């Protein structure tokens, strides 16, 4: 069973309209890199030029912030779910 | 797991008048709420920052529920584009200040509520002074600088920040800056670079969405004030209106958070600068000129030779566009750059001039020598040149 990354609607257009992307890897970073390779337009929204996470986009591994689990180095297992939560400001 | 907490409102509680007992009867017969909960609400004070999309349902429901004192901060005037979602204002209020309009509506809805209006921008200069007198703050703002300002104000004053924000079809809500919980900076340490995330005015928002999220904020405010239920402290609620999925994720306090963790943030800062906003005059220095709609119309009339580029989205183009323009949405600009002639003069426009200003700077950086931004965009074109072009 692969790892699934869920995107907010606003970013899905950079991934050919996909809201959920299946991927695989040992760590969150490997999954992010694989998806970034497959969707080059999405890539700059998932990681910065140095390949690190942004401070204004929070990525969750299942229901926990990856920053509390080692960031991109956090280990993932089959069936895990990653969720991308960008900062939004509308009101 | 969030446990029930002490009510924010404690101490001597005011009695209810007979008219209030009748008005709030459906609350009073709720065993978990009862007379005591209602008296707590009557003793409570809530500051609502923003009387817009989120602020509208918040103001209406918090007033209807019987919050004793409501503070409203807003400096804006009601316009027609607000009415699709800002249900506290009516058609006859267009042109009035949002504060006056909201005040009238709330006074009609519940005369037992005291309203305090602050017709001003919420800024680092006045935030602490305004917020000091309230039990909690509800964030109904529409931009990053004010969101960080609301958060830091709450952390410094030790008051809960009932957070909600929306974009297009999605929303977020939480309860932040409580003594035991995370704050907005724990969730997003820094704002995105200016211009990366469009505002609702640029990106659109489904009209019912601020209703959904504002209701969640109102619910959380009432729970905090009265001490009932489990609040969103330590949890982030994500709402997706398109799939109608609600998810809660864990939100932990960041020990390195400069506001609530290390506490190195001891006073309010310059939030415009923090969010990378506030150097608008730079465009000229960058070689991008501003062209008013009247000047552009004159150049079109004279048959001048230039490329006219519309950087909005296709659905906006469908509403109205200028004759002779080519549609190049912002997201496709980089791909299309190669097909444009750098030697030619280029005029860019969007709805208000904000997006096209950024696009113009990118064109200039890419080597275009003669780049103009249409000042005020299609909105001002409608005002100054052709009123038959609809504003939106």
- Interchain pair A68, B54: CB under 8 A: no
Q: Do A88 and B169 touch (CB under 8 A)?
A: no
Q: Which residue has the tokens 């929070």?
A: A58
- SS3 state at B216: helix
- In which element (H, E) is residue A88 found? none
Asked whether residue B267 falls in the same domain as residue B360, the answer is: no
Is the domain of B255 the same as that of B332?
Answer: no
Q: What is the pTM of this model?
A: 0.82
From the candidates B200, B257, B260, B275, which is the catalytic residue? B200
Q: B131: domain CATH number?
A: 3.40.50.720
**Under 8 Å between Cβ of B328 and B345:** no
pLDDT in the model for residue B159? 98
- Domain holding A51: CATH number? 3.10.20.30
The answer as to whether B10 is a domain residue is no
Q: Please list every residue in chain A whose beta carbon sits closer than 8 Å to the beta carbon of residue B55.
A: 91
- Asked if B213 contacts B54 with a C-beta cutoff of 8 angstroms, the reply is yes
- Predicted confidence at residue B284, as pLDDT, reads 43
The tokens describing A27, both together, are 């760590």
Q: Is residue A45 part of a domain?
A: yes
Residue A78 domain boundaries = 3-86
Same domain assignment for residues B306 and B369: yes
User: Among residues A1, A88, A7, which one has the least CA distance to residue B166?
Assistant: A88
The reply to whether residue A55 touches residue B169, judged by beta carbons under 8 angstroms, is no
Q: Are residues B69 and B146 in the same domain?
A: yes
At A22 the pLDDT is 97
In contact, B57 and B211? CB cutoff 8 Å: yes
Q: Which domain holds residue B306?
A: 282-384
Are both B125 and B241 inside the same structural domain?
Answer: yes
| ipTM > 0.90 for the complex | yes
Give the whole-angstrom CA distance, residue B341 versus residue B78.
43
Residue B196 sits in the same domain as residue B85: yes
- Tell me how far apart the alpha carbons of residues A66 and B170 are, in angstroms, rounded to a whole number: 22
Q: How far apart are CA A23 and CA A1, in angstroms?
A: 9
Q: Same domain, yes or no, for B226 and B363? A: no
Provide the greatest CA pair distance for chain B: 78
Assess whether B183 carries a catalytic annotation: no
The phi, psi pair for B94, rounded to 5°, reads: -55, 130
Residues B227 and B342 reside in one and the same domain: no
Rounded CA separation B41/B45 (Å) = 8
CA–CA gap between residue B166 and residue B172 (Å, rounded): 6
- Interchain CB distance below 8 Å, B251 and A65: yes
Q: Return all residues near B102 (Cβ < 8 A) that are at least 6 apart.
A: B51, B55, B56, B59, B72, B74, B88, B89
3-state DSSP assignment of residue B293:
helix
Rg (CA), chain B: 24
Cβ of B205 within 8 Å of Cβ of A58? The answer is: no
Tokens for B180?
A: 């035991």
Positive or negative torsion for Cα A83, A87, A89, B4: positive
Write out the DSSP string of B282-304. Answer: HHHHTTEEEE-HHHHHHHHHTT-
- Helix ranges (H only) for B347-386 are 354-365, 377-384
Query: Could you tell me which residues are beta bridge partners of residue B175?
Result: B162, B233
Q: Are B31 and B54 in contact (CB under 8 A)?
A: no
Total domain count, chain A: 1
Residue A1 has a pLDDT of 61
Calculate Rg over the CA atoms of chain A.
12
Spans in chain B with pLDDT lower than 50: 1-2, 279-285
Q: CA nearest B57: which of B37, B85, B97, B93?
A: B85
Is B186 found in the same domain as B77? Answer: yes
Domain boundary among B221, B256, B274: B274
Residues 6+ apart with CB under 8 A from B297: B385, B386
Q: How many helices (H) and strands (E) does chain A have?
A: 3, 5
Query: Are the C-beta atoms of B27 and B66 separated by less than 8 Å?
Result: yes
- pLDDT of A58 > 80? The answer is yes
Q: Which residues of B touch A58 (CB under 8 A)?
A: 187-188
Confirm whether A91 is domain-assigned: no
Run of H or E residues at B7 = none
Tell me whether residue B260 is one of the annotated catalytic residues.
Answer: no
- Give the number of A-B residue pairs with CB atoms closer than 8 Å: 93
Among B168, B236, B252, select the one facing A9 at the smallest CB separation: B168
Number of DSSP helices (H) and strands (E) in chain B, helices first: 17, 13
Helix (H, G, I), strand (E, B) or coil at B342: coil
Domain count, chain B: 2
Which residues in chain B have Cβ-Cβ distances shorter than 8 Å to A87? 144, 187-188, 191-192, 197
Q: Stretch A81-89: mean pLDDT, rounded? A: 96
Chain A CB contacts of B147 below 8 Å: 89
Residue among B214, B205, B267 at smallest CA distance from B237: B214
């Amino acid at each position: 069973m692969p790892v699934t990354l869920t995107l907010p609607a606003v970013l899905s257009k950079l991934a050919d309209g996909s809201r959920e992307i299946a991927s695989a890897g040992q760590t969150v970073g490997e999954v992010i890199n694989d998806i970034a390779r497959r969707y080059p337009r999405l890539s700059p929204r998932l990681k910065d030029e140095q390949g690190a996470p942004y401070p204004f986009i929070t990525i969750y591994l299942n229901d926990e912030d990856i920053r509390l689990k080692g960031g991109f180095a956090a280990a993932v297992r089959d069936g895990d779910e990653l969720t991308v939560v960008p900062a939004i400001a509308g009101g | 797991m969030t446990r029930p907490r002490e009510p924010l409102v404690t101490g001597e509680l005011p009695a209810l008048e007979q008219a209030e007992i009748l008005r709030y009867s459906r609350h009073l017969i709720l065993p978990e709420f009862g007379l005591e909960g209602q008296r707590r609400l009557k003793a409570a004070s809530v500051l609502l920052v923003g009387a817009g999309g989120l602020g509208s349902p918040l103001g209406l429901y918090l007033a209807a529920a019987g919050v004793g004192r409501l503070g409203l901060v807003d400096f804006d005037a009601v316009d027609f584009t607000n009415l699709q979602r800002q249900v506290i204002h009516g058609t006859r209020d267009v042109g009035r200040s949002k504060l006056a309009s909201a005040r009238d509506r709330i006074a009609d809805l519940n005369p037992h509520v005291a309203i305090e209006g602050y017709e001003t921008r919420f800024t680092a200069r006045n935030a602490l002074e305004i917020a000091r007198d309230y039990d909690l703050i509800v964030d109904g703002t529409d931009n990053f600088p004010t969101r960080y300002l609301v958060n830091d104000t709450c952390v410094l004053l030790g008051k809960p920040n009932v957070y909600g924000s929306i974009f297009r079809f999605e929303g977020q809500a939480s309860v932040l800056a409580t003594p035991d919980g995370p704050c907005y900076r724990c969730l997003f340490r820094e704002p995105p670079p200016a211009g990366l995330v469009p505002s609702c005015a640029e990106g659109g928002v489904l009209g019912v969405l601020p209703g959904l999220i504002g209701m969640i904020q109102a619910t959380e405010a009432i729970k905090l004030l009265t001490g009932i239920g489990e609040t969103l402290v330590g949890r982030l609620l994500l709402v997706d209106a398109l799939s109608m999925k609600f998810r809660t994720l864990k939100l932990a306090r960041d020990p390195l958070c400069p506001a609530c963790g290390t506490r190195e943030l001891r006073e309010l800062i310059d939030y415009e600068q923090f969010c990378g906003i506030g150097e608008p005059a730079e465009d000229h220095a960058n070689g991008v000129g501003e062209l008013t709609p009247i000047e552009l119309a004159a150049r079109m009339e004279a048959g001048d030779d230039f490329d006219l580029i519309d950087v909005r989205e296709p659905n906006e183009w469908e509403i109205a566009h200028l004759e002779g323009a080519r549609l190049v949405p912002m997201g496709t600009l980089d791909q299309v750059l190669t097909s444009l002639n750098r030697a030619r003069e280029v005029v860019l426009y969007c709805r208000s001039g904000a997006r096209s200003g950024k696009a113009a700077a990118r064109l200039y950086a890419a080597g275009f020598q003669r780049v103009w931004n249409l000042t005020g965009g299609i909105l001002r074109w409608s005002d100054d040149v052709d009123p038959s072009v609809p504003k939106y």
